[in-house]
């Protein structure tokens, strides 16, 4: 790494400011610790959580310090390894979920834990790989909360609703639910109906129509589970559409949702809303990458930006109108 002692990175120095607060800087290339690898990043994906941290959603716990280099979903090449790393080597093409507390993905290089780094199939390009970690792992974990386990016969849930199915998480939830042989009803905007059908949805509702707002299945099925990837939909809209023991898994739970969930548990409600907090596991990332390699799962990409225009990608994510993932690609450096 002698030729790359410094690198291009994008940082912000305080809470707030949105895309305008992002600054392009030259910083030192980090060094991997004993159980880490140094990645030359080829692509990174922006998630809503990244700019919510900037807005102070988890203040004062995150970021750990300023200035902060955001983003945790990356794909690239291993260029250096820590002294205790045996599972990866220089030259490996990988996808990784970086430390959520320290980030580092909007840069030419980043250090990654081996526990959340997986070798990519040779047919998987870095932009598609970078879109996987947070979104696909959240979708997989949400389905498990709903009682769905891929590969397990005699699934209990049969009918599932996925809101915001064309978004970063919704696209994976739709594909994974269909792989589990569920009947999938999905919501999205009118322009994305064909896309969501192509991902495996059996029924698609335009959320802006009265039918979509009611969440009623066109085939009048009651939902055994809901993977709720949107915002602004109350429990009262879900409840009449749920089966007797239906469950709503909320991937962006508010304090109100958490209190509702607690009350339902205390009163032994059959129908429940369940808040989800992602707990990433390396084995799950390997499982997801395996599905991608088998052609059973794909990343829908909304747009791609060079690192030099990372602020435009940031603004696009903040707009809330992305169809799929927003990717930042790193410039080639020799």
Last residue of a domain, one of 275, 291, 321: 275
Residues 153 and 174 reside in one and the same domain: yes
Asked, for residue 188, whether it belongs to a domain, the answer is yes
Asked, for residue 285, whether it belongs to a domain, the answer is no
Last residue of a domain, one of 241, 260, 275: 275
Q: Cα-flanking dihedrals φ and ψ of residue 69, to 5°?
A: -95, 110
Q: For the chain, 334 residues long, give each residue's pLDDT as a single digit of tens.
A: 544 599 999 999 999 999 999 999 999 999 999 999 999 999 999 999 999 999 999 899 999 999 999 999 999 999 999 999 999 999 999 999 999 999 999 999 999 999 999 999 999 999 999 999 999 999 999 999 999 988 776 666 799 999 999 999 999 999 999 999 999 999 999 999 999 999 999 999 999 999 999 999 999 999 999 999 998 899 999 999 999 999 999 998 888 989 998 999 899 999 999 999 899 999 999 999 999 999 999 999 999 999 999 999 999 999 988 899 999 999 754 3
Asked, for residue 141, whether it belongs to a domain, the answer is yes
Residues 220 and 104 reside in one and the same domain: no
Residues 245 and 258 reside in one and the same domain: yes
Integer Cα distance of 265 and 273 in angstroms: 9
Residues 115 and 143 reside in one and the same domain: no
Residue-level pLDDT at 198: 98
Closest listed residue to residue 164, CA positions, set 72, 250, 235: 250
Could you tell me the CATH number of the domain that includes residue 251?
3.40.50.720
Asked, for residue 292, whether it belongs to a domain, the answer is no
Residue-level pLDDT at 333: 43
Query: Is 60 in contact with 98 (CB distance < 8 Å)?
Result: no
Residues 271 and 162 reside in one and the same domain: yes
**DSSP H helical segments within 80-158, as ranges?**
126-130, 133-145
Asked, for residue 288, whether it belongs to a domain, the answer is no
Asked, for residue 280, whether it belongs to a domain, the answer is no
Query: Is 96 in contact with 289 (CB distance < 8 Å)?
Result: no
Number of domains in the chain: 2
Could you tell me the CATH number of the domain that includes residue 102?
3.90.180.10
Range of the domain at 257: 135-275
């Amino acid at each position: 790494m002698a030729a790359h002692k410094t690198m291009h990175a994008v940082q912000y120095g305080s809470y707030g400011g949105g895309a305008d607060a992002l600054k392009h800087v030259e910083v030192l290339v980090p060094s991997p610790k004993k159980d880490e690898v140094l990645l030359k990043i080829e692509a990174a994906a922006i998630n809503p959580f990244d700019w919510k941290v900037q807005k102070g959603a988890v203040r004062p716990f995150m970021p750990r310090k300023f200035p902060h280099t955001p983003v945790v979903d990356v794909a690239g090449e291993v260029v250096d390894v820590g002294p205790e790393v045996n599972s990866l080597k220089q030259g490996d093409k990988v996808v990784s979920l970086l430390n959520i507390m320290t980030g580092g993905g909007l840069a030419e290089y980043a250090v990654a834990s081996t526990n959340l780094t997986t070798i990519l199939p040779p047919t998987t390009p870095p932009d598609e790989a970078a879109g996987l970690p947070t979104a696909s792992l959240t979708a997989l974990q949400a389905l498990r909360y709903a009682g769905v386990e891929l590969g397990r016969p005699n699934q209990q849930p049969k009918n599932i609703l996925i809101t915001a199915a064309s978004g970063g998480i919704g696209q994976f939830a739709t594909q994974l639910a269909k792989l589990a042989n569920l009947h999938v009803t999905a919501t999205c905007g009118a322009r994305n109906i064909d896309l969501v059908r192509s991902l495996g949805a059996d029924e698609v509702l335009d959320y802006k129509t009265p039918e979509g707002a009611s969440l009623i299945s066109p085939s009048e099925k009651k939902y055994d589970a809901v993977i709720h990837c949107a915002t602004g939909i109350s429990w009262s809209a879900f409840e009449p559409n749920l089966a007797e023991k239906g469950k709503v898994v909320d991937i962006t739970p508010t304090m109100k949702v958490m209190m509702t969930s607690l009350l339902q548990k205390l009163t032994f409600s059959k129908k429940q809303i369940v808040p989800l907090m992602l707990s990433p596991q390396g084995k799950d990332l390997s499982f997801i990458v395996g599905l991608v390699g088998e052609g059973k799962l794909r990343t829908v990409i909304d747009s791609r930006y060079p690192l030099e225009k990372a602020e435009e990608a940031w603004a696009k994510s903040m707009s809330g109108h992305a169809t799929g993932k927003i990717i930042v690609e790193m410039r080639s450096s020799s």
